[in-house]
A and B are shown apart, each in its own frame.
Chain A
Amino acid sequence: GAVVSQHPSWVICKSGTSVKIECRSLDFQATTMFWYRQFPKQSLMLMATSNEGSKATYEQGVEKDKFLINHASLTLSTLTVTSAHPEDSSFYICSARGDSSGNTIYFGEGSWLTVV
């Protein structure tokens, strides 16, 4: 079946630095990918919708200048957390719709970000 690969799985960075997380669809083309954030003991909250070749659509309350999303190809979307702060520490996970009907959704393995 379709696979979505996310990298890195774990990352620790210093406050003020930037971190890039990659989300790849390995055996299908994904024109749309979704980025979620999950704080401990909370649900997955949609951050943005990544559209190949165009600007991402951000959910209300998500800073687009802080969470840069690039979807330059049909198999890769990246999320860059710029000038990271400890409050950005969270679990970030991407997903993509894997077939023409759009009903099948595949999730990456997620990325644990810790900002120290």
Chain B
Amino acid sequence: GQQVMQIPQYQHVQEGEDFTTYCNSSTTLSNIQWYKQRPGGHPVFLIQLVKSGEVKKQKRLTFQFGEAKKNSSLHITATQTTDVGTYFCADNQAGTALIFGKGTTLSVSS
């Protein structure tokens, strides 16, 4: 079945450093969604990317969708301690369940 790979699995940064997580699929992704899950919490929707090559920004977060719609990335500029959590990408194919990547857990030290 389809798999969505996500790297790295863990990332530790100093506060103020940048952070990037990458999501890849061997098959074409329909729409890609990104979620953030804080420790002990449930996944919270961040954004959905639909178009090939699409780039969206949310304050310090930049989301990209690859030209071939087989990869996506989330970049955080100047991380803060509030950015701590696990970031998941998920392939959103209409009518079916989301297929999640394994997630990247970000820790930030001040």
Interface residues of A (CB under 8 A from B): 32, 34, 36, 41-46, 49, 91, 93, 95, 97, 101-103, 105, 107-110
Comparing B13-21, B56-64, B69-77, B87-95, the segment that makes contact with chain A is: B87-95
Which of the listed residues B45, B48, B98, B105 has the most CB atoms from chain A within 10 Å of its own CB? B98
Q: Which of A44, A95, A101, A110 is within 8 Å of B88, CB to CB? A: A44
A105 and B42 within 8 A (CB): no
Taking CB atoms, residues of chain A closer than 8 Å to B97 are: 34, 36, 46, 49, 95
Q: How many A-B residue pairs have CB under 8 A?
A: 45
A102 and B95 within 8 A (CB): yes
Which residues between 29 and 70 of chain B lie within 8 Å of chain A, taking CB atoms? 31, 33, 41-43, 45, 48
Give the complex CA separation of A93 and B17 in angstroms: 33
B93 to A: closest C-beta gap in Å: 9
Give the complex CA separation of A109 and B38 in angstroms: 12
Give the complex CA separation of A110 and B42 in angstroms: 6
Taking CB atoms, residues of chain B closer than 8 Å to A105 are: 33, 45, 92, 98
Which of the listed residues A44, A103, A110 has the most CB atoms from chain B within 10 Å of its own CB? A44
